[in-house]
Structure 1
C-alpha cells in the first residue's frame, strides 16, 4: 500500500524541521567553504534547500486529462537541467545574502502553506512543476528525497548526528528502490537505507554500495544483480 499523503507531508515537515534546526550550527566561515556538492559553497547548498521547497509555491494544478510523469522520469530531468539548477541556486544565494536563514524560513513556510492547499485535491492530483507534470504525492516524495540527500551532504559541515530524520530516510529509500525496480525489472529490497540513498543519488559508487550491503535480492539464492547501469537515478 502506498504511504498516505498526510504521512508523507508530515515526514517532509519532520525532515525540514530537523535539517533547519541544525543550520544554526553553521557559522559564516563554514558557509563560505566549498560544500559536498561540487561547485557550490555551503551557503549556496543551504539556499538550494529553499529553492527545492519553493517548487510547491510555483507549481500549478493541471486538468484531469494531463498524464503525470513517473517519479523516475521526473527526477531524470535534474541532469538535463543541471546548469539551470546551478544558476538558479547561485542567484538565490546571492539574493538571500546575509539574511540567508530568515529568508530560508520564509520560503519554507510559504511552500508548506501552498502544499497544504495542493493536498486538498488528493494525492493523485497533477501539478505542473519545474521538470514537467507530476502527481502531488510524487512531488512530495521528490522533496523528501532531496532534503534527505542534502542532509547527508551537509553532515560533513555539521557536528554529529547526521541531520536526517529516520522516517524521511525510510520513505526516501523506498521511493528510490521502487523507481529502480520499475526501470530495471528487478525485485530488490533495501539493505542499508543510507548507503542506498547515497548510491541512488550519486554520492557513492555501486561497488561502495555493494560493500555496504545497500541492496539485497528478494531471495538470497538469486544473488545481487549489477544495477550500476541504472545509477545514479538522480
Structure 2
C-alpha cells in the first residue's frame, strides 16, 4: 500500500531540517573545495540542495486529463538535463556567495508553503515540474531521493554521522527500487538501504552493490539477476 502523502511530506521535512541543521557545521573554507559530486564544489552542492527543494515553487497544477510520467520515467530525465542542472547549481552558488544559509532558508520556506498548497489536491494530482508532468506524491519522492543522496555526498565534508534521516532513507530506497522494478521487470527487494541508494544514484558500481548485498531476489532460490544495464537510475 502506498505511503500516505502526509507521511511523505513529514519525512521530507525531517530530512530537510536535518540537512539544514548539519550545514551549520560546514566550515566556510570548505565551500570552495571539490565535493563528492564530480565537477561540483561544496558550494555548488549546497546550492543544488536549495534548488532541489525549490522545485515545488516552480510547479504548476495541471488539468486532470494530463498523463503523468512514472517515477522511473521522471528520474531518467535527469541525465538529459545534466548540463542544465550543473549550470543552475553553479549559477545559484555564485548568487548565494559565502553565506548561503539565509537564502536557503528563504527558498525552503517558500517551497514548503507551495507544497502545502499542492497537497490539498491529493497525492495523485498532476503538476508540471522541471522534467515534465508528475503526480504530487512522486514529486515528493524525487525530493526525498535528492536530499538523501546528497546527504551522503555531504557526509565527506561533515562530522559523522551522515546527515540522512532513517525514515527518509527507507522511502528513498523503496522509491528507487520501484523505479528499478518498473524498468527491469524484476521483483527485487532492498537488502542494504545505503548501498542500494548509492548504487541507484551512481555512487557505487554494480559489483560493489552485489558485494554489499544492496539488493536481493524475492525468493533466494531465484538468485540475483544482473541489473547493471539499468543502472544508475539517476
Aligned position for 1:148: 148
Structure 1's consecutive aligned runs of 4 or more residues displaced over 4 angstroms after TM superposition are none
Q: Aligned partners of 2:136 and 2:84: how far apart in 1? A: 23
Q: Give 1:182 shift.
A: 1.0
Q: Aligned partners of 2:195 and 2:40: how far apart in 1? A: 23
Task: For structure 2, list consecutive stretches of 5 or more residues without a partner in the other structure.
Answer: none
Q: Aligned partners of 1:200 and 1:100: how far apart in 2? A: 29
Superposition map of 1:1-234 within 5 A: 1-234=1-234
Deviations 1:138-192 (A, max 9, x none): 0000000000000000000000011000000000000010111111111110000
Q: Give 1:45 shift.
A: 0.2
Q: Count matched residues.
A: 234
TM superposition score normalised by structure 1: 0.99
Task: For structure 1, list consecutive stretches of 5 or more residues without a partner in the other structure.
Answer: none
Q: Give 1:88 shift.
A: 0.6
Q: Give 1:29 shift.
A: 1.3
Q: Give 1:20 shift.
A: 0.7
Cα RMSD of the aligned pairs, angstroms, is 0.6
Q: 2:103 aligns to what SS in structure 1?
A: helix
Q: 1:33 aligns to what SS in structure 2?
A: coil
Q: Give 1:99 shift.
A: 3.1
Q: Aligned partners of 2:87 and 2:183: how far apart in 1? A: 30
Q: Aligned partners of 1:131 and 1:54: how far apart in 2? A: 14
Q: Give 1:32 shift.
A: 1.2
